[in-house]
Chain A
Amino acid sequence: MYDIPELERKWLSYKIKKTLKPILAVTVLIFAAILVFLFIPSVKIYDSQPEKSVNNNIQKTIVSETSAESSPEEGLKTTFQASSVSSTPPIVAKTKKPVKLEPSFNFMYGLEEEVLGYYDEPTEQKEQMQHRPIEPLQPKAPVNTEPKQDHIVTSKQIGIRSKHETIQKSAEKNNITKKGGSAFEKTDTIEKLDINRKSDEKDIQDVIKRFKKNKNPALSLFVAKRFYAIGNYQQSYNYALITNELNSDIEDSWLIFAKSLVKLDQKEMAISTLESYIESSRSIKAKLLLDSIRNGMMK
């Protein structure tokens, strides 16, 4: 016959094991999760310390360069200004990547006066410029010395006037009589032109305002593209640079940046910038652009 007490003891042992198994598993998982949770931040702190100390000099240089180079953008009240004033190192990720693009910053020095017009803190900006550690490699004379707003208006007016003339010509061809109406028509067209121009400018300014608030690189890229489209290459350069600072992975930003440089007669810098970018990103578009710049197709 059965040894029932022994059988019951075995069953109890089995039951305890069966019940404890999931409990133990869950406990181990919880402990593991807690350990991981505690361990990861400690690793970060541990890692970040030497990084700070090792890269201290580099960061300082970068920051000072950034502050000097980004001084035109100080009007935007970006983090660069804060970092340079308080000498608190910015986030490593932000400072690391621009190192690759060091040559491009030099060109910024020539743009300081132009950028001042966009931001409302010229005094502070000048103070920042005094702390600039490296002498600008590029001549101080800005590439585009003319006020860009006028340039925009002129190009628009010319474009639309010529359009108007074309319309007039086509109307003449179609034997449409416009006696005494031509002067009025012309005035009307100019008024329309003014409205359009203001609208474009307003759009960009609106986007710039939004960008100042949220520092969204998509907005700065949009502004850079718009400026490039209307021929304000200096500003397109500036905003492409800002975009690159915020997010160095946006291909379009680099392309606009390089194109703007070409337009600003900084072909060599554009080439070196694109070469650096291609090296890190393997971008085909950048490669094509580089080829076209080298071949002289992009002017």
Chain B
Amino acid sequence: MSNSLFRTSKDLFLDVVDSNEYVQLDRVSVVYSALRESIKKPLKMILLYGRPGTGKSMMLHKLYRDLFEEQKVVLYQTPIIDESEFLRSLAYDVYDHKIEGELNFTRFNELGLNYEFDTPPLVLLDEAQLYSPALMEKIRLISDSRKIKFIITLHKTEQEDLIAKEHFQTRIWESQQLFNATPSELKIYIQKKLLRSNSFDIANMFNDKNVKIIHRFTSGNYRDTNKLLYLLFDLYEWYEENRPSKISYTKISNKMIEMAAIQGGFLHV
């Protein structure tokens, strides 16, 4: 066992949204397939929602990567709060039309009349709950023109449900929800991630009890799981360097998981 093995494993669980790191799980696959099918339908808007850390951004990234070569698709990972800036960005990314200065909604619509697409361009808006109601209203009107199709992601909270209700109630024709992982899904998730980077020894060190403990601390939330596992491997790395006799290379120690949970704030002592 070399030092780099724990370090490699640790890096796998860094909290970054990278579609290459996307782990296909049964339940997530179903949602993804449904989302792909929805895109083919003549829908104006599609809503993808779920609690934070359930993989919405990751799914949006995967969708972007998969559709990139098939059709015109634009992904906005971070919201563009300013309306003029948003419309300018949209004009540039969708119509390849660079506009200097202010761009209002009317001018943007006029611009859109000059372009025709076989398949309407797809705009993926992550963290849509951060857009202002006024801008969301403009987005709704743009989608009504059927010139551009939107897929938006929302956190599933009471407030954001309200946004969805007010702005998209009559327009969103399809919505998909993402959930936290079950313990068995979490085990597959962890092992798939490790196996993908050829960390077979580390993957084999996890047993059902370990995963259950991890699930108890993270409730199956992918973001929290990533954080906990990052801390776990970080601790392993430290012990390996400083007190190698204290760690086992055959199984993950529950003590280490609990210590990582304490360190990560999942466990309050």
Contacts and interface: CB of A to CB of B under 8 A. Distances in A.
B269 A2 contact: no
B238 A13 contact: no
Contacts of B258: 11, 14-15
Interface in A1-30: 1-2, 4, 7-8, 10-11, 13-15, 17
B269 A10 contact: yes
B235 A11 contact: no
A10 B261 CA distance: 11
Contact of B259 (A1, A11, A17): A11
B247 to A, nearest CB: 12
B40 interface: no
A7 B267 contact: no
Nearest to B231: A2
Contacts of B262: 7, 10-11, 14
Interface of A is mostly: helix
Contacts of B267: 14
B182 interface: no
B263 interface: yes
Contacts of A2: 234-235, 238, 263
Interface residues of A, number: 11
Interface residues of B, number: 11
A20 to B, nearest CB: 14
A11 B238 contact: no
A1 B263 CA distance: 11
Contacts of B234: 2
Given A1-B238, A2-B238, A4-B238, A13 B269 contact: yes
B83 to A, nearest CB: 46
A34 B264 CA distance: 43
A162 B263 CA distance: 103
B255 interface: yes
Interface string B154-184: 0000000000000000000000000000000
Given A2-B263, A7-B263, A8-B259, A14 B269 contact: yes
Contacts of B238: 1-2, 4
Contacts of B263: 2, 7
Contacts of A4: 238, 242
Contacts of A10: 259, 262, 269
Interface in A112-151: none
Interface string B101-135: 00000000000000000000000000000000000
Contacts of A17: 269
A76 B28 CA distance: 83
Nearest to B263: A7
A14 B259 CA distance: 10
Contacts of A14: 258, 262, 267, 269
Among B235, B238, B263, residue most surrounded by chain A Cβ atoms (within 10 Å): B263
Contacts of A1: 238
A8 B259 CA distance: 7
Nearest to A14: B269
A115 B269 CA distance: 81
A49 to B, nearest CB: 53
Given A2-B238, A14-B267, A17-B269, 4 more contacts: A7-B259, A7-B262, A11-B255, A14-B258
19 contacts: A1-B238, A2-B234, A2-B235, A2-B263, A4-B238, A7-B262, A7-B263, A8-B259, A10-B259, A10-B269, A11-B259, A11-B262, A11-B269, A13-B269, A14-B258, A14-B262, A14-B267, A15-B255, A15-B258
Question: What 6 A-B pairs come out closest when comparing CB atoms?
Answer: A10-B269, A14-B269, A11-B259, A10-B262, A7-B259, A13-B269
